[in-house]
Each structure stands twice: as structure tokens, then as C-alpha cells.
Amino acid sequence: MTAPHAPPPGTAREAIDDETLHALVDGRLSPDAAQALRARLTGDSDGSPAPYRQDWQDWEEQRARLRALHADWEQAPVPPPLAQAAQAWRERRARQARAWRMVGMAASWVFAFGLGWTLQGAAPPPPSPAPLQAIPQRFALQAAAAHAVYQPEQRHPVEVGAAQQEHLVQWLSKRLERPLQVPQLQALGYELVGGRLLPGDAAVAPSAPQASAGARAQFMYQNAAGQRITLYLGALAGAHPAETAFRYEDEGPVPSFYWVEGGFGYALSGPLPREALLALATAVHAQL
């Protein structure tokens, strides 16, 4: 035999208290519970104490006066600056959601497609090349995604710490098949935390050697407040040869400034205002 259900708020079998009255006045009770409680408060069938009736009436009156005090606000149009800010926030969230979906779908497709061919004992066919104009933008979104993954790490934000900077540079230079150097950003308040090796995207560097097409480097920096930025770099042989100017990308999880020089892509990412991120990217570009 099952136990009976507890009575809903406001029924005759439940004690009346301040919390229940507040729920009634604020409209947080179900229609049936609210009707049952009002019947108790306005009738004498169950001997409801008079103070509860008085409190309920006082609070209802107070609520009505407060709503009447600014009743015109409900009909007034939203101030233009507030409406514009809300629209800009919604659009940014929508762009970020699209960027995350794109990165996630690409990763899932590569994993599932490659696994299927591996199980069949055959190598997967090479992916179709991306449009030239889309290659640097995708590179920037990958940089932002890598930043979002490793930036929150407290114990293992990098593979090789700044104390082993010489080893870090030699290792990553060998893996990317290109002499690298670590930009110094102390003048702008950022110290090197270290770096790591990351997988690349052969589709964006189809003519590059296998090692450089399949590897990326990430250098992480941190300021005194604990805020982190990351420099992401790797081969982009498939990019448009004229793509050298700075570009700003804010559709990823964090904004990035990115550029391409000599078939190599660079992206500086971090949760900073555009002007501050541009100053850091300019300093990095001048040193590289």
C-alpha cells in the first residue's frame, strides 16, 4: 500500500505560515493551491487565525500600491541604449554558440570518420581543402578554443614551464620545423608561464610537411592579477598569400587577433578589451 502524497501548499491540511503567505502574494502557488488558501483566509470554516488574514490583506495592498507607483514603466518603451546593449549581448552569445558548435562538430566528425576507416584497416581519404579566405579565420577559432581549454588549468596549464624556456623553444621548433622564439611581454605586464605542443589541422596546411601540418604551439602568459593570454602558432601553407594584416575575431570563446606571415599563422587570444589585446598583439608581431 502506497503512502498518501503530501498535501499541496495552501490546502486545509497544511499549516499557514509567513512563507506560504508570501508565496500566495507573489503568485508562486499553483492556481488550485492559491484558490484553496484564499478560501481559508476569507472563511471561518477551519478557524484560521485572524492575524494571517490581516497580514495577507496588508501585503496584497502593499503589492498593489508598489505596482501602481510605477505602472507606467510596464507600458513605456525600453530605453534605446539598454535595448542596444541587450541586442549586442544576444548577438555575441549567438556567435559564440555557433563557433563552439563548429569546433565541436569538426572534432566529432574527424574522430568518428577516422575511427571508422581505422577499424576497416584503411587510411581515411584526405579532407577537402577549405576555402582560402576561411583558413585563417578557422585558425583563429582553433586558437580561441585552445585558450579556453588550457587557460583555467591551475596545476598543468602548460607542458613545459618558463623555467625551461630554452628547452621549450628547441622542442617546439623541432616539432613545427621552424625556428621559434618566445616574445617578451614584461613591459606590458605579462610573464611567460610556459608552452605546449598541440595537434594541428592538416586541411589548412595541405602543402606543408607532415610534421608542421600536424602540430601547433601555444605559449601562455599571465599578469599579476592572474589573467592569462595565449599565443597560438603553426603552419598555414593553404592560406591566401596576401593574408598578412591583423584581423580581429570575436566569435570564439574569447576574442583573438590573428595574422599570417610566410605561410605561418599567429593568433593572440584572451578575455581582454579589443584595444588591450591589439597592443599585446602588436608587441608580439614586432618581436616575431
Question: Which of 50-59, 62-71, 111-120, 248-257 is the most confident on average?
Answer: 248-257
Span 210-239, average pLDDT: 83
Select, from the ranges 17-21, 100-104, 199-203, 236-240, the one with the highest average predicted confidence (pLDDT): 17-21
pLDDT in tens, 150-180: 999 888 999 999 999 999 999 999 999 999 9
pLDDT band at 56; cut points 50, 70, 90: confident
Q: Quick: pLDDT tens for 187-219.
A: 999 999 999 999 876 544 444 444 445 689 999
User: For the chain, what is the HEC assignment?
Assistant: CCCCCCCCCCCCCCCCCHHHHHHHHCCCCCHHHHHHHHHHHHCCCCCCCHHHHHHHHHHHHHHHHHHHHCHHHHHCCCCHHHHHHHHHHHHHHHHHHHHHHHHHHHHHHHHHHHHHHHHCCCCCCCCCCCCHHHHHHHHHHHHHHHHHHHCCCCCCCCCEEHHHHHHHHHHHHHHHCCCCCCCCCHHHCCEEEEEEEEECCHHHCCCCCHHHHCEEEEEEEECCCCCEEEEEEEECCCCCCCCCCCEEECCCCCCEEEEEECCEEEEEECCCCHHHHHHHHHHHHHHC
Judged against a pLDDT cut of 60, whether residue 134 lies above it is answered with yes
Average the pLDDT over 211-228 and give the result: 85
